[in-house]
Amino acid sequence: MNEEVYANGRTYAEHCAWLGSLTGNEYRIVHMPIGHLMSMAYVSYFKYALLNCEMTAAERLRLLDGIAKCVHGPITSEAIEVIDPACATALQILKEINSVGRERACQAFHNGDCFRILARLNPSLLRALELCRLGPVPERPQTAAS
């Protein structure tokens, strides 16, 4: 039974070992709920729209309200504040994610796969992640003994 694939091609033991090896931002990405990762990614998208697209006051207010509502759970207002607007590539990625439907979009953020790419394009997402409330984040890999 232990040889069965548990998650993402890893057995249960491998998966536990992998989780134990996570530190810093990798730990944060994996342990942050997918919804919150998506929220932060979309905040960068909204900020791009607010700074580059002409819109009515109502539309602008709706977007800003959407950003304000992202301050929830582990995401702090400081984290939202440091997020920079998305670049053109990130924008394209988010547009495509948005077009495939909510379920598949969530899948894209599973285990932080998509978020890692977005964070590479927009490092402010990682800074924001550091400002989130995620409890103690291990600085060194956790072994089974520890």
Partner 1 sequence: MKSADKPKRAKRRELEPLEPIDAKDGPKMQALPSDRHRAFVRALYTVRPGHGAAVKAAKIAAFGTPQSSPQSMATIASRLMHDDRVLDAIREEDEKHIRASAPRAITALSRLIEDPRHKDHARGIGMVLDRVHPAETQHRLTVEHDATPAYKATADVLERIAQLAAKAGIDVSKMPPLIEAKPVGGS
Residue 72 is a binding residue for partner 1 (CB under 8 A)? no
Residue 146 is a binding residue for partner 1 (CB under 8 A)? no
We find the least distance from the C-beta atom of residue 46 to partner 1, in angstroms, to be: 8
Residue 17 is a binding residue for partner 1 (CB under 8 A)? no
For residues 99-138, one letter each, b for 16 or more C-beta atoms within 10 angstroms of the residue's C-beta and e for the rest, the string is eeeeeebeebbeebebbbebbeebebbbbbbebbeeeebe
Candidates 8, 53, 72, 123; binder of partner 1 (CB under 8 A) is 53
Q: How far apart are CA 36 and CA 68, in angstroms?
A: 13
* Residue 83 contacts residue 124 (beta carbons within 8 Å): yes
Segments in 70-112 forming alpha helices (H) = 77-82, 88-99, 102-108
The two tokens of residue 26 are 């990798």
Decide whether 14 or 84 has the Cβ nearer to partner 1: 84
The two tokens of residue 29 are 């990405």
Region of 27-35, 44-52, 98-106, 136-144 interacting with partner 1 (CB under 8 A): 44-52
Residue 57 is a binding residue for partner 1 (CB under 8 A)? yes
For residues 18-47, one letter each, b for 16 or more C-beta atoms within 10 angstroms of the residue's C-beta and e for the rest, the string is beeebeebebbbeebebebbbbbbbbbbbb
Residue 61 is a binding residue for partner 1 (CB under 8 A)? yes
Candidates 8, 64, 96, 138; binder of partner 1 (CB under 8 A) is 64
Q: Using CB under 8 A, count the residues that bind partner 1.
A: 22
Residue 77 is a binding residue for partner 1 (CB under 8 A)? yes
Contact positions toward partner 1, by CB under 8 A?
A: 43, 47, 50-58, 60-61, 64-65, 67-68, 77, 80-83
